[in-house]
A and B are shown apart, each in its own frame.
Chain A
Amino acid sequence: MKDPYNNLYNGLCFIFLDLKFFGLPDIFPDFFGYMFFAYGIHLLPSIRKLKYWTRNFAIVLTVLSFVVELDQWTGTLLLGQIGVQLLQFLLILFMYFLFQLLLHIHENKAFEAKTFRTYQIYMTLMLCGFVIQSFAINLDANLQEVALTISILLQLIAFILFVFYCRSGSKYFKSKQQSNVQSF
């Protein structure tokens, strides 16, 4: 069986990293990230239909982010920055649902506690980052730069936290698989 946490890790990497070189569009498009998320959630165990809701949410976000990316690639900029920021908010909402799923499926107490701590810090950092970023629209150029830097820093810390969480998630997954093999 494939590791779901690796897929979650890849998903967030694709969404978080915006690499634009030599005038080329983003080489890590966001909708690939949401596809990875959908596949990763598909591999996770199910609980009270939460998995299906979250996976469907990821699929909806795949379509939405594809529309936003297409808008940027073609240069029509019909949605512009608003589309990007709306997607950012939807990503936070999606991560909330993903954490709801992750909080319920682990049988290991220590790992469950780690999930909970990650949930607390991740949601706080991302929401604070989003709020500061939304206030930055109305600030002067200098202050705007400061506010945006703070917001990006908060989001970067949240991203790194989730990466570490995914690493320990794959370790947990491997140990669980090994114990399953031994029990056979």
Chain B
Amino acid sequence: MEDRELFDTLKNRPDIEPEQAFSSSLRRELENNPKLKTKKVTVAPLLTIPMTIAIFVFLWMITTGQTLEIRSTASPIISQEKTMVFTGGLFVLLSLVLFIIFVFSKGYTKGKLVFITFALSLCVWVGNLVYANW
């Protein structure tokens, strides 16, 4: 319905003679300015593509029963290390929970922040799975 109305208004608008001097100067500016020509690369696809591949490879490795080779090299033996890992984990958990509460209490329904909450939750889950398999 809205599209129809928009279409009608567009169709019925008065035809104003285009300002040729302005548009040609704009075109020249666009052609000369290399900054405007460069394609904008956002963070989202740059991060998501390798992350998705990594997750699928990891899930495949786990489900087919292959062990991760790093297993023997890095396992915290000393209790001090364990406490440090525990404190670090707790810190990450608390900060992530607070971040999620902040984003949703602010009332964002879309955008980067909401995307980051989902991405971080998934990262944390995958990270914990990797750590558990060490």
State the A residues within 8 Å of B (CB).
Answer: 78-80, 82, 85-86, 89, 92-93, 96, 99-100, 103, 116, 119-121, 123-124, 127-128, 130-132, 134-135, 137-138
Contacts and interface: CB of A to CB of B under 8 A. Distances in A.
Given A96-B118, A137-B132, A138-B89, A124 B109 contact: no
Contact of A89 (B63, B104, B125, B128): B125
Residue with the greatest number of chain A CB neighbours at <10 A, chosen from B97, B105, B110, B125? B125
Contact of A116 (B100, B107, B128): B107
A55 B102 CA distance: 29
B100 A124 contact: yes
Contacts of A135: 89, 93, 124, 128
Contacts of B131: 137-138
Contact of A131 (B97, B107, B129, B132): B97
Given A131-B93, A131-B100, A135-B89, A82 B128 contact: no
Contacts of B121: 89, 92, 127, 130-131, 134
Residue with the greatest number of chain B CB neighbours at <10 A, chosen from A78, A121, A123? A123
A100 B109 CA distance: 7
Nearest to B101: A124
Contacts of A128: 97, 100-101
Residue with the greatest number of chain B CB neighbours at <10 A, chosen from A86, A99, A119? A86
Main secondary structure on B side of the interface with A? helix
Nearest to A135: B93
A93 B119 CA distance: 11
A82 B133 CA distance: 12
Contacts of A86: 59
Contacts of A119: 104, 109
Contacts of A79: 63
Given A92-B121, A135-B93, A137-B132, 18 more contacts: A80-B63, A82-B62, A85-B125, A86-B59, A100-B110, A103-B109, A120-B107, A124-B101, A124-B104, A127-B100, A127-B104, A127-B117, A128-B100, A131-B124, A132-B97, A134-B128, A137-B129, A137-B131
A82 B126 CA distance: 10
Interface string B90-111: 0001001100110011010110
Contacts of A103: 109
Contacts of A131: 93, 96-97, 100, 121, 124-125
B68 interface: no
A92 B105 CA distance: 17
